[in-house]
Amino acid sequence: METLEFQAEARQLLQLMIHSIYSNKDIFLRELISNASDALDKLRLAVLQDGVEGDTGDLRIELEADAEARTLTVRDNGIGMTRDEVVELIGTIARSGTAELLRRLKDAKGDTDLIGQFGVGFYSTFMVADKVTLVTRKAGTEGHGTRWESAGEGTFTIDDAPDAPVGTAVTVHLRPADEEDALFDYTADRKIREIVKRYSDFIAFPIRMGDETLNSMKALWARPRSEVSDDEYHQFYKHISHDWVDPLETINLKAEGTFEYEALLFIPSQAPYDLFQRDARRGLQLYVKRVFIMDDSKELIPDYLRFVKGVVDAADLSLNVSREILQQDRQIQLIRRRLVKKVLSTIKDLRANEPEKYATFWREFGRALKEGLLNDPDNQKAILDVATFASTAGADPTTLSDYIARMKEGQDAIYYLTGDSRTQVENSPHMEAFQAQGREVLILTDPVDEIWVEAVPDYEGHKLQSIARGDVDLPNPETETPGDFAPLVDYLKETLAAQVKDVRLSHRLTTSAACLVSDTDDMAPALEKMYRAMGQEPPRVKRILELNPSHPLVEGLRAAHERQPDDPTLPDTAELLHGTALLAEGGDLDDPARFAKLLADRLARTI
Ligand SMILES: Nc1ncnc2c1ncn2[C@@H]1O[C@H](COP(=O)(O)OP(=O)(O)OP(=O)(O)O)[C@@H](O)[C@H]1O
């Protein structure tokens, strides 16, 4: 028997383990099972590719608990290790950067997140053990096996193990349970099952305890789609999402090459109740080589796709990768980018080939998806490609490209109008001339519409243009304006100076007397309202009052002002004109009671 010293950095790491700075001690079993699973993978590959002699007929992981002896053994019949490998692999930490991380770990005492930056693997057993024994024998080699043992305190012993079977058995001599310190009784049947189910259910090899296999072994994402039934996918979806309805769509993804990962994603059929609540759970499950790493990994999918559920299984990440690391990891960013593209292209396919499913998707998640127009500039175009909008052209929503295909000659902009409801938008005075000329206008009624339209300059070269803003570029109907409106316009500008920044004659009205429009670069009123609702105080934006010169009220007002510019009832009429314009577009009056009184007095005089 030989006694050897751990390499300096390994010793440091072991100290950290023994003093157990990592709060979740359960993971030691996950690590051992993961190592065992790797060893089984390696044996399978060695036999297959290198012609190593070995039995791959019954690759398995066995768990054996002995409550009396207080031991838990994890045994595999995988590749095993030679004596030299044991010394090399278990006695040292080969990974680069570990020394630097250890230094930082020491400085940041108790910072448990840092430890997630490197795989602690086998050493994590020392969080729960006062002694660990490893007995192993390498597949395809002559000679005997090796027995390694350590209490984690600086040294380990190495010895021959003549009778060791091929594979590796790690026996953890457990410290007394101390539940307050999250040190559980790891010989307890229930605890073992719980950990296996939670972290290792999808390990591709059977994890057995006695005659029983504890894991389902179904790594669905790793199996070719043609071999997995819809029902299996749906069960899996329900398991991870806690949804009870089948998903709308299942998405498989596999990346090979330098950076390997697999993903299995689902688009649900219905939005969760908390889709628009900030504290809702979101994100994907992250696996590393079939080993469950974490739930709700927000780094894998952007917020606007938060309704997507599923699993990403990456081959090259550390098992102990922390959320902090995920945020900075370049590989994770690449995965995320790819997932976004895949989800968007799936939606595009739905739209092209399965209109009913697409309609369901858009009804449930369109509002969330549109947030991406603001938050994901790179995919703005792709999102607009799959988006549909209500329109004056018909009851069915339209895509932007269909809209463009229907544009009238000479029309360059994509017209839209925002509002609270379809009815309100359709009946808004701003619509009149557009309707009269048969020009299609998009009807945008989601709160997020007010915001993204500001962020999207154009679609395929066509500007998005609010018909309640700026001047309209409609061809002028060649009607002579009756009479001279300049004095009235000047009068109203002065009288309504507190309410509006300008007064002018309109080309967009056919039936209404007046309407309010925003100046080209001013904030839309709904947006202003939204900011106020969020507790902010944006500067009050005054709008422009546009008059319809052919309306009897406006013409009458002109005549009345011409007759007697100091008529004492004129200011009230001006105020009523402004108020009705505001009401017609669904706006809020500053002083509704005053408006009602003015109106009632005026009506009383006409009866
Ligand atoms: N059951 C096993 N069978 C064969 N080799 C093993 C076994 N367990 C550990 N090893 C070897 O010991 C090495 C070190 O294991 P350890 O758990 O410390 O780190 P790792 O598995 O490489 O990294 P990580 O756990 O972060 O993925 C492994 O890479 C593997 O070569």
Q: 352-405: per-residue pLDDT in tens?
A: 999 999 999 999 999 999 999 999 999 999 999 999 999 999 999 999 999 999
Fold of the 2-216 domain: Heat Shock Protein 90 (3.30.565)
For ligand 1, whether the C-beta of 310 sits within 6 Å is no
pLDDT digits (tens, 9 = 90+) for 130-150: 999 999 999 998 888 999 999
Q: Give the right CATH number for 486-606 from 1.20.58.190, 1.10.3720.10, 1.10.8.420, 1.20.120.790.
A: 1.20.120.790
Residue nearest to atom 20 of ligand 1 (CA): 121
pLDDT digits (tens, 9 = 90+) for 388-399: 999 999 999 999
How far is Cα 236 from Cα 250, in angstroms, rounded to an integer? 11
Residue 597 in 3-state DSSP? helix
Residue 529 has pLDDT above 50, yes or no: yes
Complex confidence, ipTM: 0.97
For ligand 1, whether the C-beta of 317 sits within 6 Å is no
How far is Cα 302 from Cα 89, in angstroms, rounded to an integer? 39
Ligand 1: nearest atom to the Cα of 42: 4
For ligand 1, whether the C-beta of 89 sits within 6 Å is yes
Pairing mode, if any, of strands 284-288 and 514-517?
unpaired
Ligand 1: nearest atom to the Cα of 318: 26
Residue 345 has pLDDT above 80, yes or no: yes
For ligand 1, whether the C-beta of 374 sits within 6 Å is no
Residue 389 in 3-state DSSP? strand
Banded pLDDT at 116 (limits 50, 70, 90): very low
Pocket test for ligand 1, best of 35, 42, 43 (most atoms within 8 A of CB): 35
Residue 435 has pLDDT above 50, yes or no: yes
Cβ neighbours of residue 109 under 8 Å, at least 6 residues apart?
21
Average pLDDT over residues 493-506: 93
Q: Which CATH class is domain 225-353?
A: alpha beta
* C-alpha 602 to ligand 1 mean position (Å): 88
pLDDT digits (tens, 9 = 90+) for 155-180: 999 999 999 999 999 999 999 998 88
Residue nearest to atom 7 of ligand 1 (CA): 35
Domains of the chain by residue range: 2-216, 225-353, 486-606
For ligand 1, whether the C-beta of 81 sits within 6 Å is yes
pLDDT digits (tens, 9 = 90+) for 181-221: 888 999 999 999 999 987 788 788 999 999 999 998 878 89
How far is Cα 216 from Cα 231, in angstroms, rounded to an integer? 15
| pTM above threshold 0.95 | no
Banded pLDDT at 238 (limits 50, 70, 90): confident
Question: What is the three-state SS of 314-342?
Answer: ECCCCCCCCHHHHHHCHHHHHHHHHHHHH
Average pLDDT over residues 55-78: 96
Banded pLDDT at 574 (limits 50, 70, 90): very high
For ligand 1, whether the C-beta of 318 sits within 6 Å is yes
Residue 168's nearest CA partner among 289, 35, 5 is 35
